[in-house]
Amino acid sequence: MNFSERIFCGKLSSEHIGKTVQLCGWVDAYRDHGGLLFIHLRDRSGIVQIIFSPETSSENICKMAATLRTEYCIAVTGEVKKRIPGTENPNIETGALEVFVRELSVLSESEALPFPISDKAMVAGAEDASVENVSEDLRLQYRYLDIRRPAMQENLFFRHKIFQCVREFLDKRGFVEVETPMLTASTPEGARDYLVPSRVHPGNFYALPQSPQLFKQLLMIGGLERYFQLARCFRDEDLRPDRQPEFTQLDIEASFIDEEFLYELIEELTVKMFAVAGIELPRPFPRMTYAEAMDSTGSDRPDLRFGLRFVDVTNVFGNTNYSIFKQILQRGGCIRGINVKQQSAKLSKNVLQNEYAKEIAPSFGAKGMTWMRAEGGKLESNIVQFFSAAELDELKKRFEVQDGDVLIMVADPSDAIVTQALGQLRLHLANRLGLIDEKIFYPVWITHFPLFEPTDEGGVTSSHHPFTAPERVDFDPKNVEELLSLRSRAYDLVINGEELGGGSIRINNREVQRKIFAALGLTQEEMKEKFGFFLRAFDFGAPPHGGLALGMDRAVSMILRTQSIREVIAFPKNRSAGCPLTGAPAGVKKEQLAELGLLNLGGKNILPGEAQKETLLDRVSWVSRIGIAKEERSVMEEVLREAQKLAAEVNNLPVDDEPIRSVVDAAGIARPGLTAKKSELAEKGQLLKSAPAVKGNYFKVANILE
CATH 3.30.450.20 assigned to domain 306-432? The reply is no
CATH 2.40.50.140 assigned to domain 3-108? The reply is yes
The DSSP call for residue 83 is P
- Could you give the maximum distance between any two Cα atoms of the chain, in Å? 102
Tens digits of residue pLDDT in 156-205 = 999 999 999 999 999 999 999 999 999 998 876 567 899 999 999 988 99
- For the chain, how far is it from start to end, CA to CA, in angstroms? 50
State the pLDDT at residue 660: 55
Neighbouring residues of 631: CB distance < 8 A, sequence distance ≥ 6: none
Pick from 587, 576, 463: which is nearest to 519 by CA? 463
The three-state DSSP-derived secondary structure of 238-298 is CCCCCCCCEEEEEEEEEECCCHHHHHHHHHHHHHHHHHCCCCCCCCCCCEEEHHHHHHHHC
CB 512 within 8 A of CB 473: yes
State the pLDDT at residue 695: 72
Cis peptide bond prior to 470, omega within 30° of 0: no
List the domain boundaries for the chain: 3-108, 131-286+543-598+693-706, 306-432
If one counts every other C-beta atom within 10 angstroms of the C-beta of residue 357, the result is 19
On the question of a common fold for 3-108 and 131-286+543-598+693-706, the answer reads no
Q: What is d(CA 566, CA 564) in angstroms, rounded to the nearest whole number? A: 5
State the pLDDT at residue 663: 57
Q: What is d(CA 372, CA 383) in angstroms, rounded to the nearest whole number? A: 9
Q: What is d(CA 524, CA 321) in angstroms, rounded to the nearest whole number? A: 57
Range list of β-strands (E), 179-218: 195-197, 205-207
Low-confidence stretches of the chain (pLDDT < 50) are 607-610, 612, 706
Give 311-374 as a DSSP string: EE-GGGGTT---HHHHHHHHTT-EEEEEEETT-TTTS-HHIIIIIIIIIIHHHTT-S--EEEEE
State the pLDDT at residue 123: 65
- CA–CA distance from 584 to each of 134, 239, 344, 581 (Å)? 22, 16, 52, 8
Q: What is the mean pLDDT of the chain?
A: 90
Q: What is d(CA 485, CA 470) in angstroms, rounded to the nearest whole number? A: 11
Q: What is d(CA 106, CA 24) in angstroms, rounded to the nearest whole number? A: 10
| Residues making up the chain, counted from first to last | 706
Domain formed by 131-286+543-598+693-706, architecture? 2-Layer Sandwich (3.30)
